[in-house]
């Protein structure tokens, strides 16, 4: 049996001091999520709620991987692994895929509830924020679906709201793979689309579902690569989809091809509630299966939630690969999770206006989730915010260094800076701040940075560093 399930992950973050267990009774209505929310805002631990009002026998883990320490443990690394090292490990594992294995029996089938016996209100689904359209069940989930024509299976992480006892409504973006599978596959065929929502699976499987991954890529293989261990998959009760066998809870459902229902609003990952309740996909639950003494996993969405580190690392690595492919002399790319995944810092071997323009155009060509791009020379460490702020403040020409690119139909509808009208039209803009020295400047006119590594002779640098060591600093 797989030893990398949610429970082994919880034991590991408890051992590293990154999990707090709460045995006092906590209300599922805002109080539980409020504690988790403050935990994110104060860069605190994950919380395990062992005693939820009205829901004896159920437990909830809030914010499994909000913050780099828990993210590192999720990859099986020490909690104090540096961000640079995490990026390196992720990029290596992402291209070393390991296929899943199919099993006949698994913990997620310990309790099976089908058809008329399903009642979503039997689950301790939290009211996450005041003002949300309802109680959100899918926040840290894996949503599995199959392409109607090719049979390609996609995993994604998408929010789902409890609509009534048997129905969920959800908000996969139209650009998401789930949204496309429904609109381009099942709707024209007039067929309902089976989905499975796995909650509380092993961490690599969740990281794979949330990742920016290639089209027609199979996230079950990515999960195996990230965890360096094949994921065990088991068949659903009411469809031919397969889910991670150690999942705490599995919701099997069918998305209507011919109906919509109300969903949202929801306090979202940029750190704001924006938008109103609106029409969304609606799914009828056909079965719920779960482990004994089950643990619901929850992301208290907002500033520094579990999506911040998760989507920023896979997004930044995919940006670096994309820029490389198009000939940009990129060295590194970092997306600070504190930016709500709205800012990318890109270092280049050779900068200048043409490169900055090329970068902003490439990063907005398909989907435009990033709206601020800081381009720096390669001697600036993209992971060091002090160095980035220094370069931005001193090297970016307020006029010549600002490259704005506008677009319509593909802007990020959740970017808080956009007006309602812009969001509806998906009209937006992204800006590249060129914080590099213009390549056309003669060498003698280019300022020299007054740091030890730039302004001192190699001989003096060597002596200083050796003295530094001797002083035990
Ligand atoms: C906690 C969390 C919640 C998310 N919720 C949504 C959502 O409701 N809708 C959506 O389109 N993307 C959402 N995302 C982003 C997608 O999971 C991400 O874009 C992923 O790559 C989607 O997979 P896909 O490329 O197969 O569509 C969420 C991500 C995280 C980490
Ligand atoms: Mn996907």
263-276 pLDDT, tens digit each: 999 999 999 998 78
Average pLDDT over residues 364-380: 95
Indicate the pLDDT class of residue 213, thresholds 50, 70 and 90. Answer: confident
With a 6 Å cutoff on the Cβ, whether 173 touches ligand 1 is: yes
The CATH class of 326-455 is alpha beta
For 72-172, strand residue ranges (E) read: 101-102, 111-114, 136-138, 141-146, 153-156, 160-162, 167-170
What percentage of the chain reaches a pLDDT higher than 90?
A: 96
d(CA 150, CA 429): 35
With a 6 Å cutoff on the Cβ, whether 412 touches ligand 1 is: no
- Nearest residue (CA) to ligand 1, atom 12: 158
The mean pLDDT of the chain is 96
d(CA 304, CA 382): 19
**pTM, whole model, 2 decimals?**
0.96
Angle of the 83-94 helix axis to the 219-227 helix axis, nearest 10: 130
Q: Express each pLDDT in 342-353 by its tens digit.
A: 999 999 999 999
With a 6 Å cutoff on the Cβ, whether 206 touches ligand 1 is: no
- Nearest residue (CA) to ligand 1, atom 2: 307
Select the more confidently predicted residue: 229 or 4. 229
Q: Express each pLDDT in 312-353 by its tens digit.
A: 999 999 999 999 999 999 999 999 999 999 999 999 999 999
Indicate the pLDDT class of residue 367, thresholds 50, 70 and 90. Answer: confident
CA of 156 to the centre of ligand 1 (A): 6
With a 6 Å cutoff on the Cβ, whether 53 touches ligand 1 is: no
Q: Express each pLDDT in 379-407 by its tens digit.
A: 999 999 999 999 999 999 999 999 999 99
CB contact set of 206 (below 8 Å; sequence gap of 6+): 64, 65, 140, 141, 142, 157, 297, 310
On whether the CB atoms of residues 72 and 78 are closer than 8 A, the answer is yes
pLDDT value, residue 1: 42
Please give the backbone phi and psi of residue 449, each rounded to the nearest 5 degrees, phi first: -70, 135
Gap between the terminal Cα atoms of the chain: 47
Q: How many CB atoms lie within 10 A of CB 459?
A: 8
d(CA 384, CA 334): 10
Bond before 448 cis per omega within 30 degrees: no
Q: How many CB atoms lie within 10 A of CB 292?
A: 9
Q: Express each pLDDT in 274-297 by its tens digit.
A: 878 899 999 999 999 999 999 999
CA of 117 to the centre of ligand 2 (A): 31
User: Where exactly are the structural domains of the chain?
Assistant: 6-298, 326-455
- Tokens representing residue 50 in the block: 């062992």
Q: Coil, strand, or helix at residue 78?
A: coil
pLDDT value, residue 160: 98
With a 6 Å cutoff on the Cβ, whether 172 touches ligand 1 is: yes
Q: Which of 56-65, 70-79, 167-176 has the lowest mean pLDDT?
A: 167-176
d(CA 137, CA 285): 13
CATH number for region 6-298: 2.30.110.10
- Tokens representing residue 211 in the block: 């990742």
CA of 298 to the centre of ligand 1 (A): 14
Which of 156, 179, 366, 367 most suits a substitution to test ligand 1, by most atoms within 8 Å of the C-beta?
A: 156
What is the CB-side half-sphere exposure of residue 389 using CA atoms within 13 A?
Answer: 4
With a 6 Å cutoff on the Cβ, whether 310 touches ligand 1 is: yes
Average pLDDT over residues 6-27: 98
CA of 244 to the centre of ligand 2 (A): 15
CA of 214 to the centre of ligand 2 (A): 8
Q: Coil, strand, or helix at residue 196?
A: strand
Closest of 202, 206, 222 to residue 214, by C-alpha: 222
Strands 232-235 and 101-102 turn out to be: parallel
- Nearest residue (CA) to ligand 1, atom 20: 210
With a 6 Å cutoff on the Cβ, whether 309 touches ligand 1 is: no
With a 6 Å cutoff on the Cβ, whether 158 touches ligand 1 is: yes
pLDDT of 2 higher than 70 = no
CA of 347 to the centre of ligand 2 (A): 28
pLDDT value, residue 3: 72
Closest of 292, 301, 195, 312 to residue 248, by C-alpha: 292
- 369 alpha carbon, closest ligand: 1
pLDDT of 240 higher than 50 = yes
pLDDT of 215 higher than 80 = no
pLDDT value, residue 423: 93
């Amino acid at each position: 049996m797989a030893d990398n399930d949610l429970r082994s992950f919880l034991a590991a973050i408890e051992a590293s001091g990154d999990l707090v267990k709460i045995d006092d009774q906590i209300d599922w209505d805002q109080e539980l999520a409020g504690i988790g929310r403050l935990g994110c805002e104060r860069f605190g631990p994950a919380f395990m709620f062992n005693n939820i009002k009205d829901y004896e026998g159920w437990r909830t883990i809030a914010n499994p991987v909000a913050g780099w320490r828990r993210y590192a443990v999720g990859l099986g690394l020490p909690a104090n692994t540096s961000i640079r090292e995490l990026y390196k490990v992720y990029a290596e594992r992402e291209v070393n895929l390991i296929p899943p294995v199919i099993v006949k029996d698994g913990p997620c089938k310990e309790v099976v509830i089908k058809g008329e016996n399903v009642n979503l209100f039997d689950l301790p689904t939290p009211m996450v924020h005041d003002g949300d359209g309802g109680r959100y069940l899918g926040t840290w989930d894996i949503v599995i679906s199959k392409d109607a024509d090719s049979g390609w299976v996609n995993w994604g992480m998408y929010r789902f709201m409890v609509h009534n006892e048997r129905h969920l409504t959800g908000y996969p973006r139209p650009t998401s793979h789930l949204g496309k599978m429904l609109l381009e596959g099942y709707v024209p065929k007039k067929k309902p689309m089976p989905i499975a929502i796995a909650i509380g699976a092993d961490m690599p499987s969740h990281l794979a579902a949330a990742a920016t991954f290639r089209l027609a890529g199979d996230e079950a293989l990515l999960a195996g690569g990230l965890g360096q261990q094949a994921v065990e998959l088991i068949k659903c009760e009411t469809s031919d989809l397969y889910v991670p066998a150690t999942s705490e809870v599995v919701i099997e459902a069918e998305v209507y091809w011919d109906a919509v229902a109300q969903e949202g609003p929801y306090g979202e990952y940029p750190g704001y509630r924006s938008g109103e309740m609106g029409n969304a996909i609606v799914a009828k639950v056909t079965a719920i299966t779960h482990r004994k003494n089950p643990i619901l996993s929850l992301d208290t969405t907002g500033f520094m939630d579990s999506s911040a580190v998760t989507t920023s690392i896979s997004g930044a690595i995919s940006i670096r690969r994309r820029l490389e492919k198009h000939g940009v002399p990129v060295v590194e790319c970092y997306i600070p999770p504190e930016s709500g995944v709205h800012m990318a810092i890109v270092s280049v071997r050779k900068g200048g206006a043409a490169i900055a323009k090329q970068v902003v155009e490439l990063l907005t060509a398909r989907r435009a989730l990033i709206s601020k791009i800081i381009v720096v020379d390669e001697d600036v460490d993209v992971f060091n915010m002090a160095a980035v702020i220094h370069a931005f403040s001193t090297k970016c020409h307020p006029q010549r260094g600002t490259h704005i690119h506008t677009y319509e139909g593909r802007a990020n509808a959740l970017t808080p800076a956009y007006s309602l009208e812009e969001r509806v039209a998906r009209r937006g803009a992204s800006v590249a701040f060129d914080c590099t020295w213009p390549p056309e400047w003669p060498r003698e006119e280019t300022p020299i940075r007054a740091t030890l590594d730039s302004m001192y002779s190699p001989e003096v640098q060597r002596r200083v560093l050796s003295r530094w060591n001797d002083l035990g600093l």
